[in-house]
Structure formats: C-alpha cells, structure tokens
Amino acid sequence: MNAAACISAVVDALGLPANARVDIRVPKKMLVEQGAPTSTDKRAIQDGIDELLWFAACKPGTVGVPTFADDVHEYVEIAVIGCAFRAGAKSRRLIELIHRAIPYPVILITADDQGIDVSVAHKRRAQNEAAKVVVDRDATTHLSDPTTPTLNETAFLDSLELSKQSHRDLYALYDGWLARVEAMNAANLVGSFSVTTDEHQIMRRRAAIEDYERLDKENSLLRSQAAKAKQISKRVDLNQRIKAIERAMGQAKQAMGGEQP
C-alpha cells in the first residue's frame, strides 16, 4: 500500500476548490508542543509519525461556506490534515493527539500498515478555559485501500464531495462529513453504505452504533468469562446472557439500516 497515494485519494474525494489547498508540511515539533501532555505522548509522536501534511483550509473565502458560532462552538475554518504513521506507531492515540492539538475541526486522514483511517472530531470551548477547545464528539472509520476501494468504500468516497454537503455554515458542513464517517461504520456492520440528510435517521444510526459497540464489548467479556467458567450452571447462565446480548446487537444493526441515499 502506498500511504501517500491512499491519503491523496481521500483528499481528492473531498472535491475542494484549488484555492482551498495549502499543501505544506507541518513540523512534528509543533505537534509535540501543542498536543503532547505527557512524555509518553511526546515519544509516541516522535517515534510514530513519519510525515504530517496540511492539505487544505476550508473557510468562507476558499469554499464559500459561512462561519458558525454559538455559546459553545466557533467554526471559522476546517483543516484537512494527512499523516503517515511508521510501523509500530500507536495509531489510535496519535489520532486523538492530532485532533486535540489543532484548534480547528479537522478531517484527519492517517495511514499505517493496516490501511487508512478517516477521522473527524467536533470541538467546543472548554468550560473552565475560554481560550481552549476540547473534543465534543468524534468518529473514525477504516478503509483498506482508497486507491482500489470496495463498493462500499467507493460509495463513501463519492459521498464526501464538497458539492454534496450542506453549505449552511461550517458546522453543518463538518457535521455532514461526520455523518458520512458514521454511515461507513454502519456499512461495515450491515453490508451496504447509505447516506441520509434526515436528522432523525442520523441520530438513530448514531445511537445504534453506540449501542452495538457497547454490546459488542460486553459480549466479548461474557464469552471470555464463559470460556473460563468451571461450573455448568454458571456457564449456562452466561450463555443465556450472551444470546440476549446478541439479539440486542442484531436489533442495533437493523436500526442502522433502512435508509435510502
């Protein structure tokens, strides 16, 4: 897998105008200073990141979408960032650190030896520190290889195009991209990709994904306990609970589907 080509394929899918492109390298030093709260995180950045690139800046003057501000959010720009990780990098933690380090909402495209992750994270003002922002809601989806995408990945990439998003304001634009990341996560579970602009359906799918992930963790824990259980009665009880959880997981998957593009 060519990491640079895969990241570029996702950036290109956004269909951003030429004047939104920045295409500059971001020094790791800046990320260490801005987003590494511990020495372990500093080391993870230095050892795990190969290259960090700022591809584009989406703001009123470049994409024709107005800013947004309310009591807790202020969206004046959306940054499109790409990052190639080295082998053995703590990818999940690095994704979190990059989102935390950049004050703007970010479309983050990262590459490691497992493929490509596309992540987004809404941000809000910190309650106790006026100048600080914190992650409000985030979502990450995985792609095997955007240069040779599957059918679902092709549909996902097609759905990212700027012209297909809300242009009401930058918050709505970013929220649309987040909904598409969630739709791809749902597709990985239910088998087909579908996107909707209906707020009720988006919220229902979001809740269903959260339920499924919670139940899946509980299911794994119970299966581990059942495998270790020595008493038959204990094992029977655990297996009944597992079956109930699996039924609930099936219901959550059903709640993710049924939407039309």
Partners of 112 in the beta sheet? Answer: 115
pLDDT at 258 over 60: no
Residue 99 sits at the vertex; the CA angle it makes with 102 and 119, to the nearest 5 degrees, is: 135
* Residue type at position 245: I
Q: What is the arithmetic mean of pLDDT over 203-229?
A: 92
Average pLDDT, the chain: 92
**81 CB-near residues (< 8 Å, 6+ apart):** 26, 52, 53, 54, 55, 98, 102, 106, 107, 108, 109
What does the pLDDT average to over 170-187?
A: 96
Helix (H) or strand (E) holding 32: helix 28-35
| Confidence band, pLDDT 50/70/90 cuts, at residue 261 | very low
Are β-strands 106-112 and 78-85 bridged in parallel, bridged antiparallel, or unpaired? parallel
How far apart, in whole angstroms, are the C-alpha atoms of residue 101 and residue 193?
A: 31
pLDDT digits (tens, 9 = 90+) for 114-148: 899 999 999 998 877 666 788 888 999 999 999 99
CA angle 105–110–112, rounded 5-degree value? 160
pLDDT at 75: 96
Averaged pLDDT for residues 178-194:
94
Distance in angstroms (rounded) separating the CA atoms of residues 251 and 214: 13
Predicted pLDDT at 259: 40
Say if residue 150's pLDDT is above 90: yes
pLDDT tens digits, 84-118? 999 999 999 999 999 998 989 999 999 998 899 99
Tokens in use for 105?
């909402």
- pLDDT band at 31, cuts 50/70/90? confident
Cβ atoms of 68 and 171 closer than 8 Å: yes
Question: What is the mean predicted confidence (pLDDT) over 141-156?
Answer: 95
